[in-house]
A = this chain, B = another copy of it.
Amino acid sequence: MNNDLQKFISEKTPIIDAEMKRLIASENSPSNLKESMLYSVNAGGKRIRPLLVLAVLDDFGKEASEDGLKVACAAELIHTYSLIHDDLPCMDDDDFRRGKPTNHKVFGEATAVLAGDALQTIAFGILTSLQHTSHEKVIRLIALLANASGANGMVGGQVLDMEGESTSLTLTELEEVHRNKTGALLSFCIEAGAILAGADEEELKQLREYATNIGLAFQIQDDILDVTSTTEQLGKTANSDTASDKSTYPSLLGLEGAKQQLEKYHQNAIQSLTLIKKENSMLKHFADYIVSRNA
A128 shortest CB reach to chain B, Å: 4
Give 1 or 0 for each of A143-169: 1 = CB within 8 Å of chain B CB.
101110111100110111011000000
Nearest B-chain residue to A148, judged by Cβ: B121
Residues of A contacting B: mostly: helix
Q: Are B128 and A142 within 8 A (Cβ)? A: yes
Give the interface segment out of A48-56, A112-120, A257-265. A112-120
- The answer to the question of A37 belonging to the interface, with a C-beta cut-off of 8 Å to chain B, is yes
Rounded to whole angstroms, the CA-CA distance of A85 and B115 in the bound complex is: 12
List the B side residues contacting A143 at CB < 8 Å.
Answer: 125, 128-129
Q: Which of A106-150 contact B (CB under 8 A)?
A: 108-111, 113-114, 116-118, 120-122, 124-125, 127-129, 135-136, 138-140, 142-143, 145-147, 149-150
- The answer to the question of A29 belonging to the interface, with a C-beta cut-off of 8 Å to chain B, is yes
Rounded to whole angstroms, the CA-CA distance of A129 and B91 in the bound complex is: 32
Rounded to whole angstroms, the CA-CA distance of A222 and B121 in the bound complex is: 27
List the B side residues contacting A33 at CB < 8 Å.
Answer: 151, 155-156, 159
A212 shortest CB reach to chain B, Å: 16
Given contacts A29-B159, A125-B150, 10 further A-B contacts (CB under 8 A): A27-B150, A28-B152, A30-B159, A85-B114, A114-B158, A114-B159, A117-B117, A121-B151, A122-B151, A128-B143
